[in-house]
Structure 1
């Protein structure tokens, strides 16, 4: 999986709710760091916006010519394996879930998902910062505040977190029912 930060969402001629992702940068394989990626197709990805409307986003499927792995190229408005746009999930995590058109059970599940992921995310960000020789003090703070110390507190923090964790090949891909 590859998360894009520079892209355009191009409207589809036949469907007003359908958008195609047009990358404006070069994608790199998060596993072997090769730039030799070949487009092998596309697929529709559904997402729900803050008004509760369904969007269809067409994402490209890429195959790395070096390691032979298949990756999906997601725009940073999406969180892997989540139905809602990242700004909706971010609003829920920031305590503004009443602005989002979704059920209370979805808000609860989103908070529980992040609660289970936040230590892993913080560890990935700490590791990435250490590799870049950056030091950020976050000792003794709540984990969410520490995560925001790495990526900034301004809107879009969740998209930045997801991009860093995913593009360093640290996103948790499979969650089994017995692990939850």
Structure 2
């Protein structure tokens, strides 16, 4: 079974800000607990100005990751660990380790994006920009959907995270 994912919202290019036009769709797989695999039909949109292609991902899919964001954030938050008896159906220990390295490697980049977006769009003060405060740490401790939130902010504003 393939699930169709589409949005009625008008999408804009994170590179140049022009409107995106539907081009075609492609399949995207996602692993769930119990190694269950779901397939989704994701829309690919093309920028009417710069010609870049963008995939319209729902919040539960992370760019360049096979597992649902809920599972990834569970591992990163220490809720799911390799030695847990009930984590047999979860990602292998190596995958979990890679996710931890991925977050550590991108921590400064994520904080930079969050501060920049907060300053430009939300009116955060320059004092916050220059502080050593980690917005990533604040988000992680305050909302359960922290990973979905930061990925949406970063990728929708034209940013990216480095894969490990």
Task: Place the TM-score, normalised by the shorter chain, in its bin.
Answer: 0.7 to 0.9
After superposing the two structures, state which structure 1 stretch, 41-50 or 92-101, moved more.
92-101
Find the counterpart in structure 2 of residue 71 from structure 1.
54
Find the counterpart in structure 1 of residue 108 from structure 2.
119
Q: TM-score, normalised by structure 2?
A: 0.84
Find the counterpart in structure 2 of residue 95 from structure 1.
78
Q: CA deviation at 1:113?
A: 1.0
Structure (1/2) with the larger strand percentage? 1
Q: Does 1:158 align with 2:147?
A: yes
Structure (1/2) with the larger helix percentage? 2
Q: CA deviation at 1:78?
A: 0.9
For 2:22 and 2:78, the matched residues in 1 are separated by 39
Find the counterpart in structure 2 of residue 82 from structure 1.
65
Q: 1:152 to 1:27 in 2, by over 3 A?
A: farther
Find the counterpart in structure 2 of residue 134 from structure 1.
124
For 1:116 and 1:50, the matched residues in 2 are separated by 26
Matches within 5 A, 1:140-151: 140=132, 143=134, 146-150=135-139
How many residues get paired?
Answer: 155
Secondary structure of 2:99 counterpart: helix
Whether contact under 8 Å (2:6, 2:43) holds in the other structure is no
Across the aligned residues of Structure 1 and Structure 2, the Cα RMSD in angstroms comes to: 2.2
Secondary structure of 1:119 counterpart: helix
Q: CA deviation at 1:97?
A: 1.6
Q: CA deviation at 1:122?
A: 0.7
Find the counterpart in structure 2 of residue 26 from structure 1.
10
Secondary structure of 1:149 counterpart: helix
Q: Where does the alignment leave 5 or more consecutive residues of structure 1 unmatched? A: 1-14
For 2:58 and 2:35, the matched residues in 1 are separated by 19
Q: TM-score, normalised by structure 1?
A: 0.77
After superposing the two structures, state which structure 1 stretch, 107-116 or 92-101, moved more.
92-101
For 1:108 and 1:151, the matched residues in 2 are separated by 18
1:53-86 Cα deviation digits (max 9, x unpaired): 1111111111111111111111111111011111
